[in-house]
Structures are given as structure tokens and as C-alpha cells.
Amino acid sequence: MDRIRIRGGNRLNGTIAISGAKNAALPLMITSLLTPGTLTLSNVPRLADVRLLQRILQNHGVDITVAGKRAGQTGMGDVMHLSAKDIVDTTAPYDLVSKMRASFWVLGPLLARCGEAKVSLPGGCAIGTRPVDMHLMAMEKLGASLEIENGYVIAAARKGLKGAHIVFDKVSVGATHAALMAAVLADGDTIIENAASEPEIGDVAECLVKMGAKIEGIHTPTLRIKGVTSLAGCEHSVIPDRIETGTYAMCVGMTGGDVLLKDANASHLGAVIDVMQRAGVSVDVKNDGLRIHRNGAALAPVRLDTEPFPGFPTDCQAQLMAMMTMANGTSIIRETIFENRFMHVQELARLGSDIHLHGDTAEVRGVKKLTGAPVMATDLRASVSLVIAGLAAAGETMISRVYHLDRGFETLEDKLVACGADVARISG
């Protein structure tokens, strides 16, 4: 099993190209189930989760090809062609779905196009229960009948889905994706209230419009969908990954230095930029991305709650906590989205951090020095928080179970090494 070795203390200087957003690429791939035409996605990140979803979609009969780079192509991701001319299997089996939660989202498109679906209840990172009750409520509102049997959701809509008024009792990215992808082929009008307004939701909605869907209110908490009878293929480029952007920004904040995060979209990162600036890290918006720099000034402590977009993202909480371990004072970080998202705390403690948990709140007392040690990744974002801490720790940090990192960060070691970090992957 691979490990990552970090010898800390180097400042970061240079350019890091931001990859396509994993949290947009996965639902975009799933939209291919809604049309017999070919969906061509560019800037698709090369990640373990993307490869797993390819297997899941191929199990349903989606033909997928990945093209080589073409002249004039921008971005570092893949160009993927997905064609679901014939859906040959409407079952998403446990052995595949259990490995990645987002694969549960095939439920809506299969119901909308085929009138039936049998989808295993999901798995993924162990950062909270993340129930699918809102997904199922949305399908029932759209006219599907549902049963849960032997760990599977068995759904049917023999006469097709019908437009409905769906009101979520809390903001959920997954449930919004599910309802949106099902409603575009439903008969009649659908209103989704208290919808998630994350940039990744907007990216999927804009792709669906290119395919022929009729959606109003994109990027707002109220989506209005007029159902259509069919969708066509289209070409679409995946947006830059705002979580990867925030992660590398915090790497620079932790180590000091000056790095251009190429292709980063500042409009997706307002809350992150605000927190970085409050912490004493300079963030400059450039035509080609974001410039992050910190040269000598001490990090200032911050106080924040994680929130749905446009608030500070839960997917950057662990990274920020790692950066705050060496702030000049005490930071207060409250996690409001997932109940188990402090599993990185005990591993950061092995490096010498001083963090105290009080329910959903972490009190991070800054220390003057971290020291390298063997640590273990527990989930995707927790694993990269250990990288951030290791970059500033004296001596050597060895991170095991880095397959978590491979789920969400494309060529992480290469990007850091190019900016002067001493990072290496140790195989076996």
C-alpha cells in the first residue's frame, strides 16, 4: 500500500494548475444516463473516484472512451465521451456503490429514463451518516414508488415521473443533484426549494441546459424545471476544483511562499478567500487564477462555522485546521455539516498540534513547532490536512492509507514538488 513521505520546512514558490472539480465531474458523468446521445466532457480530473464511476456507468451500458490530448486543448484533465444509447441494466450493485457515495445519484436518471431502478444504499467516507432520506422524498414527490429491501432501494415509475413541488428541510448537495436530474425528464413543472447552490450544482444545471433541459434559477436556492421528453448530447468543460484551490492556498499559507493557482475561479471561493486574508495570507485575483503569498508574517487565528455555499465549505475544514495549528493564538472552528468530521484531530496531535474538541467545535491552540511523525489518513479531506501539516513540520512525516488522497487530488505530489516541496510517494 502506497505511502507519502514529506520532509517539511520548504517554502512553496511557483505555479499549480487547478484540476477539474471532482464534485462536478461525477454528477456530470451521471447525466449521460439521461440521453441516448453522446456527452463529451473535457477537463475531467484523473482520480480514483472517476475511474470507479466509469465502471458503474459501464455496468448500466454506457460506452465510455477517453481521448488523448488535442492541439489547442487547455486544462490538464481528460476528454471523456459517454454514450448511453441503450441502458441494459438498471441495477447499481452493492460492490460498486458501497465504495463511493456519489454513485447513488444514478437513481434519479435511471428512474427518469427507464421508469425503474434498483440501487444499493451508498457507502463512501466515514465522516457522518449522511442519510438519503431527502433523495428518496424527492423521488416520491416526483411520483416514484419506493421500497427498501436487502440494502437496496427498489424504485419504479412505470408511467413516468411527474413534475412536483419539492421543499428540502435542509440544504443537501446530493439530494439537489438527485431531484434536478430526475425532474428534467418528468412530465410537467417542478420547483425545488431550499436547493443547494454550490457551483458544482450550477455546473451540472448548465450542462443539462446544453442538453436541452429547461431550468431557471440556476445558482440560486430555488430551481424551476419544465420537463422535456428527451435530452440530446452536448460538449461541456468541468469547472475548476474550488476545494483543490482552497487546499493549495492553505499549503502556501502554512509554509509561506508565493504560488499562482492557475485557472482558479475566485467567484467560487469568497468565504475561503475571506478566511485566508483574516489569517494574514495575501490573496490576489489575477486574470489567470489566484496568487497566494505569505512572506514572514505570522498566521493570525480565525473563528468560523462551516456552512453550505456561499459559506465556508466543510470540505476545506480539515485543511484550515491544519494551517491554524501554527497560528499565533487560538482558533475556533465549528463543523455544522457532518458530525464525524474531526477524525484528523488525533493524527494532527501526533505531529504536535494542540487541539481540543467540544462537541461540534474545535479549539485550535497554535503552537510554534510541529514535528514529523508517522500518521494515517482517515478520509479524503483529513488525509490532505496531514499533508499540509507535514509540509511545515520539522523532520519527516510518513502518511499511510493515501488511497484516500487519490480519490480527490490529481497528481498532488507532482504539483507540490514543482513548487519546491520535498514530497515523495513510496510504493508498496
pLDDT for 73 equals 56
pLDDT for 127 equals 33
Taking CA atoms, 217 is separated from 142, 162, 174, 190, 362, in Å, by: 19, 20, 18, 12, 36
pLDDT for 124 equals 43
CATH number assigned to the domain comprising residue 362: 3.65.10.10
Residue 218 marked ligand-binding? no
Last residue within a domain, chosen from 189, 213, 237: 237
| Residue 128 confidence class, pLDDT cut points 50, 70, 90 | very low
Residue 118 marked ligand-binding? no
Residue 22 marked ligand-binding? yes
Nearest-angstrom CA–CA distance, 388 and 383: 9
Residue 43 marked ligand-binding? no
Q: Per the residue annotation, which of 114, 125, 251, 419 is the catalytic one?
A: 125
Strands 38-44 and 78-83, how do they pair?
Answer: antiparallel
Is the pLDDT at 229 greater than 70? The verdict is yes
pLDDT for 125 equals 41
Mean pLDDT, residues 222-249:
98
Among 50-64, 93-107, 231-245, which stretch is predicted with the lowest mean pLDDT?
93-107
Residue 23 marked ligand-binding? yes
Residues 290 and 411 in one domain: yes
Residues 295 and 222 in one domain: no
Reported as a single tens digit per residue, the pLDDT across 366-386 is 999 999 999 998 887 778 999
The 396-400 sheet, strands edge to edge: 374-376, 396-400, 3-7, 422-426
- Mean pLDDT over each residue of the chain, to the nearest integer: 94
Cα dihedral 375, 379, 380, 381 sign: negative
Residues 163 and 139 in one domain: yes
Residues 295 and 416 in one domain: yes
Q: How many whole angstroms from its chain centre is CA 355?
A: 26
Residues 117 and 140 in one domain: yes
Residues 386 and 256 in one domain: yes
Residues 260 and 366 in one domain: yes
pLDDT for 381 equals 75
Residues 145 and 262 in one domain: no
pLDDT for 379 equals 80
Reported as a single tens digit per residue, the pLDDT across 324-371 is 999 999 999 999 987 777 889 999 999 999 999 999 999 999 999 999
Residue 159 marked ligand-binding? no
Contact assessment for residue 6 and residue 377, using Cβ atoms and an 8 Å cutoff: no
Q: How many whole angstroms from its chain centre is CA 99?
A: 15
Nearest-angstrom CA–CA distance, 378 and 404: 8
Last residue within a domain, chosen from 215, 237, 259: 237
pLDDT for 164 equals 98
Residues 97 and 140 in one domain: yes
| Residue 129 confidence class, pLDDT cut points 50, 70, 90 | very low
Reading the block at residue 34, the C-alpha cell is 439521461
Residue 101 marked ligand-binding? yes
pLDDT for 123 equals 55
Domains identified in the chain, total number: 2
Residue 367 marked ligand-binding? no
Is the pLDDT at 184 greater than 70? The verdict is yes
Is the pLDDT at 151 greater than 90? The verdict is no
User: What proportion of the chain, given as a percentage, has pLDDT over 70?
Assistant: 96
Last residue within a domain, chosen from 197, 213, 237: 237
Residues 156 and 247 in one domain: no
Whether 125 sits among the annotated catalytic residues: the reply is: yes
Residues 315 and 204 in one domain: no
Residues 264 and 396 in one domain: yes
pTM: 0.94
Residue 384 marked ligand-binding? no
- In the chain, the largest separation of any two C-alpha atoms, in whole Å, equals 66
Domain of residue 364 covers: 3-16+241-426
pLDDT for 126 equals 41
Mean pLDDT, residues 409-420:
96
